[in-house]
């Protein structure tokens, strides 16, 4: 049994194991139109001109060569997301009730699809960050063909070091959806809350096209 098949068997509910094939790719790259909208609770206000401490996170392409966020050269876009679903994981109803939780894969794919234009406007690095572990992130990166790395904050060093907003789900701390533009070890722009999730990349592009104003 392959690793993907093992993941499928772990996360697929019993009813789905015995049912006909479901389009799980579509399930995780689309989202309902009636999701609750997150509100700006001020949890990111402190990030304006925030000096990032030295924090090293493992990337999906080279887990043994951690990326030091504070030493990234050039303009970097770091989008944080709560979690992506496993290949055959059916999204539970309670997940949809959490404002801003649903839509992590569409957000990641929107950065994938707009990568050339982001590079054209001077973005040197793009990373997605979640508190999921590296093997989990490697699977989703391969499955949806992301041309950039995901970074694992499994130990919560990034979340706690920047005092990022989070929520708890099934006993795990997850970063609320937000996005940071960093340069020379400092946050130069942030976006929070983000809704709908796939609008984030267009907000970033608009900021870049306006000369970062």
Q: How far apart are CA 116 and CA 124, in angstroms?
A: 11
Query: Which H helix or E strand runs over 183?
Result: strand 178-183
Q: Tell me the C-alpha distance between 108 and 78, whole Å.
A: 11
3-state helix, strand, coil in the chain (%, to 5): 35, 20, 45
More confident residue, 188 or 7: 188
Structure confidence by residue, pLDDT tens digits, 129-174: 999 999 999 999 999 999 999 999 999 999 999 999 999 999 999 9
The domains located in the chain, with CATH, are 3-209 (3.40.30.10)
**Which two three-digit tokens encode residue 95?**
């997940």
pLDDT at 14: 32
Whole-number average pLDDT of the chain: 87
User: Which pLDDT band holds residue 13 (cuts at 50, 70, 90)?
Assistant: very low
Q: State mean pLDDT over 33-62.
A: 95
Task: Give the pTM.
Answer: 0.85
| DSSP code, position 142 | H
Residue 180, beta-bridge partner list: 78, 190
């Amino acid at each position: 049994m392959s690793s993907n098949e093992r993941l499928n068997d772990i996360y697929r509910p019993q009813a789905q194991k015995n049912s006909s094939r479901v389009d799980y790719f579509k399930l995780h790259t689309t989202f309902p139109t009636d999701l609750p909208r997150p509100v700006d609770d001020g949890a990111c206000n402190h990030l304006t001109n925030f000096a990032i401490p030295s924090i090293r996170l493992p990337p999906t392409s080279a887990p043994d060569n951690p990326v030091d966020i504070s030493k990234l050269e050039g303009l970097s876009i770091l989008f944080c997301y709560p979690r992506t679903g496993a290949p055959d994981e059916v999204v539970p109803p309670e997940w949809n009730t959490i404002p801003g939780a649903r839509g992590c894969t569409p957000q990641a794919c929107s950065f994938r699809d707009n990568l050339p234009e982001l590079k054209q406007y001077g973005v040197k690095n793009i990373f997605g960050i979640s508190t999921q572990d590296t093997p989990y992130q490697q699977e989703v990166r391969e499955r949806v063909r992301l041309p950039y790395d995901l970074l694992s904050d499994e130990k919560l060093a990034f979340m706690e070091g920047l005092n990022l907003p989070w929520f708890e789900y099934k006993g795990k701390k997850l970063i609320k959806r937000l996005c940071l533009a960093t340069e020379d070890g400092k946050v130069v722009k942030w976006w929070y809350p983000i809704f709908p999730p796939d609008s984030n990349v267009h907000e970033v592009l608009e900021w870049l096209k306006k000369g970062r104003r």
